[in-house]
Structure 1
Amino acid sequence: MSATARAPFSWRIRVYWEDTDAGGVVYHASYLRFLERARSEWLRAQGIEQARVRAEQGVVFVVYAMDLKFRRPAVLDDELDATVRMVSRRAAALEFAQTLLRVADGSTLVEATVRVACVSADGFRPTPIPRNLLRES
């Protein structure tokens, strides 16, 4: 998959009360959920259902490193675009560049580099990404 040549995948998210602190500003840990949902939907768009991969191939994907830059806050009722772009693939790992953008004004709220490992579902040991997943094009 030549992910670096493609436009980033985008997933629309709305900010709800449950995502915010008492002041109506998105709580910092909520951004992690937004990024995770976008990566999961990116996988689904690739035809990869994580529960099926676990059941049939015995592997799961886990985040092992994340670098976040908080640029601006999101607030209650904001509509966000969570983008996902795979920037590298190794035998048992993927690296993604992700952003959270406010739809109303296009401002970048969060920039993230996320590193994901493929591990065995039973022992959580690194294992090569199955060949039939995320093929290079």
Structure 2
Amino acid sequence: MTDAPVPPLAPVSGVIDGEVHRYPLRVFYEDTDAGGVVYHANYLRWFERARSDLLDVLGIDQRKALDDGTGLYTVAEANLRYLAPARLGDTVVIETSAVNVGRVACTLRQTAWREGVRLCEALVKVGFIGPEGRPRRQPEAWQQAFTTLIPIAAPAPEGPE
């Protein structure tokens, strides 16, 4: 071991691919029950982590917004559907896209995947609130950033008239 300075390591970050944010993670022992299966509440934690990373990737500085009194997002509703178990050692990717973006709230679809297998899916409504805890219009630039995550409907097939 040397006393040489250690270069800083960057934390894991997700990427935006089209209209989807993808956030990778690994299932650790602490995420599982005694049988090595992910405990159900951990999907909520993973979805929260992915949403926080999404804000960073979109260039939204949550800490600055909190410190300067702009406001912050809070979960208003969450509906989860469990489809298959994740297990100790798995690599899981959380995908997030926007379903609806309003002036005060956004509804996001989040899905946990393991190698093409859907593990858990959620619809999460986040509302923007001011420092006093009351709903507030989200900044226009933030609203526009979320709008980029709404999947574009495929065009109708062209056929004979």
Shift of 1:56: 2.5
Structure 1 outlier segments of 4+, above 6 Å: none
**Displacement, 1:134?**
3.3
Larger Rg: 2
Which residue number corresponds to residue 3 of structure 1?
none
Query: What's the CA shift for 1:7?
Result: 3.2
**Unmatched segments (≥5 aa) in structure 2:** 1-17, 149-161
SS at match of 1:66: strand
**What TM-score, normalized to structure 1?**
0.89
**1:96: which partner in 2?**
108
CA distance in 1, matches of 2:140, 2:20: 23
Larger RCO, structures 1/2 (Cα 8 Å, 6+ apart): 1
The alpha-carbon deviation at position 114 of structure 1 amounts to 0.4
Separation in 1, partners of 2:41, 2:64: 28
Whole-angstrom CA distance in 2 between matches of 1:48 and 1:113: 21
1:49 paired with 2:61, answer yes
Q: Is the 8 A contact 1:46 1:134 kept in 2?
A: no
Q: CA deviation at 1:42?
A: 0.9
Does residue 43 of structure 2 align to residue 31 of structure 1?
yes
With the length of structure 2 as denominator, give the TM-score of the two structures: 0.76
SS, match of residue 74 in structure 1? coil
Whether the 8 Å contact between 2:90 and 2:114 is mirrored in structure 1 is: yes
Matched pairs, number: 129
- How far is 1:43 from its partner? 0.9
